[in-house]
Chains A and B, each alone.
Chain A
Amino acid sequence: MDALNQLFHGFGVALSPQNLAFVFLGVLMGTIIGMLPGLGPISAISLMIPVAFTMDPTSAIIMLAGVYYGAIFGGSTSSILLNAPGVAGTVATSFDGYPLARKGQAGKALSVAAIASFVGGTVGVVGLMLVAPSLSALTVSFGPAEYFALMVLGLTAVVTLSGNNLTKGLISGTVGVMIALVGIDSQTSTLRFTFGRHELYEGVEFLIVALGVFALAEVFVMLLRRGQGGGDGTITSLRLSRRELKEISGPTGRGSVLGFFTGVLPGAGATVASFLSYSFEKRLAKDGKTFGKGNIKGVAAPESANNGAAVGSFVPLLTLGVPGSGTTAVLLGALLVLGVQPGPLLLDEQPDMFWGVVASMYIGNIVLLILNLPLIPLFAKVLRTPQALLLPLVVVFCVVGVYGHSFSTFDLWLLIGFGVLGFLMRANGFPAAPLILGLILGGLMEKSMRQALLISSGDLTTFVTKPISATLLALAALSLLAPLYGAWRRTRRRQGLSEDDGRGQDERRKATAGGTRERKNG
Chain B
Amino acid sequence: MHHFRFSQRTVAAVLGVLAVAYTVQAYRIPEFAAVQVPVQPGTLPRGLGLLLIVLCLALFLQKPAPKTTDTSETTDTAPAATTERTEHAATTATTTATTATTATTATTATTGATTATPPTLGRLADARLELAVLLGAIVLYVLLFEPLGFIPATALFVTGTAWYLGFGRHWVNALVGVGVAAGLYLGMSEGLDVALPTGVLPF
Residues of chain A having any CB pair with chain B under 8 Å: 40, 42, 50-51, 54, 85, 88, 91-92, 95, 161-165, 167-168, 170-171, 174-175, 177-178, 181, 185, 187-188, 190, 192-193, 214, 219-228, 230, 269, 271-272, 275, 326, 386-389, 391-393, 395-396, 399-400, 403-404, 407, 409, 412-413, 416, 419-420, 423-424, 426-433, 446, 449-450, 453-454, 457-458, 505, 508-509, 511-512, 515-516, 519, 522
Asked if A396 contacts B180 (CB within 8 A), the reply is: yes
Contact B52 A388 (CB under 8 A): no
A223-B130, A396-B158, A508-B58 given; A188·B32 CB < 8 A: yes
Asked whether A163 and B75 contact (CB < 8 A) given A174-B55, A181-B44, A391-B121, the answer is yes
Does B146 contact A389, Cβ atoms closer than 8 Å? no
Contacting pair B41 A427 (CB below 8 A): no
A223 to chain B minimum Cβ distance, whole angstroms, is 6
Show 12 residue pairs from A and B whose CB-CB distance is below 8 angstroms, ordered by the A residue: A50-B192, A167-B59, A220-B134, A222-B121, A387-B121, A395-B141, A419-B138, A420-B135, A431-B71, A450-B38, A519-B48, A522-B47
Q: How far is the CA of A192 from the CA of B193 in the complex (A)?
A: 33
CA distance A193 to B54 in the complex (A): 21
Known: A429-B69, A457-B38, A512-B55. A192 touches B15 (CB 8 A): no
Please determine whether A225 and B48 come into contact, CB atoms closer than 8 angstroms: no
Q: In the complex, what residue of chain A is closest to B165 when comparing beta carbons?
A: A388
Contact with A along B5-24 (1 / 0, CB 8 A): 11000010001000000100
B32 CB, min distance to chain A CBs, angstroms = 4
Q: Is the Cβ of B91 less than 8 Å from the Cβ of A225?
A: yes
Query: Which among A167, A427, A432, A453 is the interface contact of B38 at CB below 8 angstroms?
Result: A453
Complex: how many Å from CA A62 to CA B95?
Answer: 43
Contact A428 B59 (CB under 8 A): no
Given known A-B contacts A272-B75, A431-B74, A226 and B99 have beta carbons under 8 A apart: yes
What CA separation (Å) do A437 and B20 show in the bound complex?
A: 23
B201 within 8 A of A: no
Q: Is the CB of B131 within 8 A of A223?
A: yes
Closest 5 CB pairs of A and B: A388-B165, A388-B167, A427-B4, A392-B161, A458-B38
Query: Assuming A54-B193, A393-B158, is B52 touching A174 (CB within 8 A)?
Result: yes
Cβ A190 vs Cβ B121 within 8 A: no
Min Cβ gap B23→A in Å is 11
- Asked if B72 is an interface residue, CB under 8 A from chain A, the answer is yes
With a 10 A CB-CB cut-off, give which of B48, B95, B114, B154 has the most chain A CB atoms. B48
Chain B residue with the shortest CB-CB distance to A459: B38
| B-chain residues with CB within 8 Å of residue A428 when the two chains form the complex | 4-6, 11
Q: Which residue of A lies closest to B81 (CB)?
A: A164
Known contacts A162-B74, A214-B74, A458-B38; decide if A190 and B32 are in contact (CB<8 Å): yes
**Contact with B157, one of A193, A223, A395 (Cβ below 8 angstroms):** A395
Which residues of chain A are within 8 angstroms of B157 by Cβ–Cβ distance? 392, 395-396
7 more CB-based (< 8 A) A-B contacts, given A219-B134, A225-B1, A512-B55:
A167-B62, A181-B44, A185-B41, A224-B3, A388-B166, A428-B6, A505-B61
Q: Within the assembled complex, what's the spacing in Å between the Cα atoms of A271 and B74?
A: 10
Would you call A163 and B1 a contact (CB within 8 A)?
no
Are B75 and A162 within 8 A (Cβ)? yes
B residues 61-114 in Cβ contact with A at 8 Å = 61-63, 65, 68-81, 83, 88, 91, 95, 99, 114
Q: Which residues of B contact A269 (CB under 8 A)?
A: 75
Tally of A-B residue pairs with Cβ under 8 A? Answer: 261
Residues of A contacting B: mostly: helix
Question: Are A181 and B121 within 8 A (Cβ)?
Answer: no
Given contacts A50-B192, A230-B119, contact A193 B1 (CB under 8 A): no
> Does B200 sit at the interface, judged by CB under 8 A?
no
A481 to chain B, nearest CB (A): 14
Within 8 Å by CB of B4, from A177, A228, A423, A509, lies A423
Q: Which of B49, B50, B55, B167 has the most CB of A within 10 A?
A: B55
Known contacts A227-B119, A399-B141: does B193 contact A429 (CB below 8 Å)?
no
Q: Which residues of B contact A230 (CB under 8 A)?
A: 118-119
Contacts of B80 in A (CB 8 A): 91-92
Whether A220 lies near B142 (C-beta < 8 A) is no
Interface contact A509-B62, CB-CB below 8 Å:
yes
Shortest distance between the CB of A100 and any CB in chain B (Å)? 16
Task: Determine how close the nearest CB of chain A comes to the CB of B47; give it in whole angstroms.
Answer: 5
For B165, the chain A residues whose CB sits under 8 A away are 223, 227, 387-388, 391-392
A228 and B54 contacting across the interface, CB-CB below 8 Å: no
Contact of A163 among B59, B71, B121, B139 (CB under 8 A): B71
Q: Which residue from B56, B77, B145 sits with its C-beta under 8 Å from A412?
A: B145
- Please indicate the chain A residues that have their CB under 8 angstroms from the CB of B198 in the complex: none
The CA of A54 and the CA of B180, in the complex, are separated in Å by 21
For B196, give its contact among A42, A85, A177, A400 (CB under 8 Å): A400
Q: Is B30 positioned at the interface, with any CB of A under 8 Å from its CB?
A: yes
What residue in chain A is nearest B56 (Cβ atoms)?
A171
> A515 near B141 (CB under 8 angstroms)?
no
> Would B162 and A392 count as touching, CB distance under 8 A?
yes
CB pair B173–A519 under 8 Å, yes or no, is no
**A476 CB to nearest chain B CB (Å):** 15
Tell me if B4 and A424 are in contact (CB < 8 A).
yes
Inter-chain contact B194/A389, CB cutoff 8 Å: no
Closest chain B residue, CB of each to CB of A446: B44
Q: How far is the CA of A85 from the CA of B73 in the complex (A)?
A: 9
A136 and B123 CA atoms in complex are apart in Å by 56
* Other-chain residue from A175, A225, A400, A431 in contact with B188 (beta carbon distance below 8 A): A400
Contact call B32/A386, Cβ cutoff below 8 A: no
Determine if B167 and A192 form an interchain contact, defined as CB atoms under 8 angstroms apart.
no
Other-chain residue from B4, B32, B58, B184 in contact with A400 (beta carbon distance below 8 A): B184
Whether the pair A188, B138 counts as a contact (CB closer than 8 A) is no
Contact B4 A275 (CB under 8 A): no
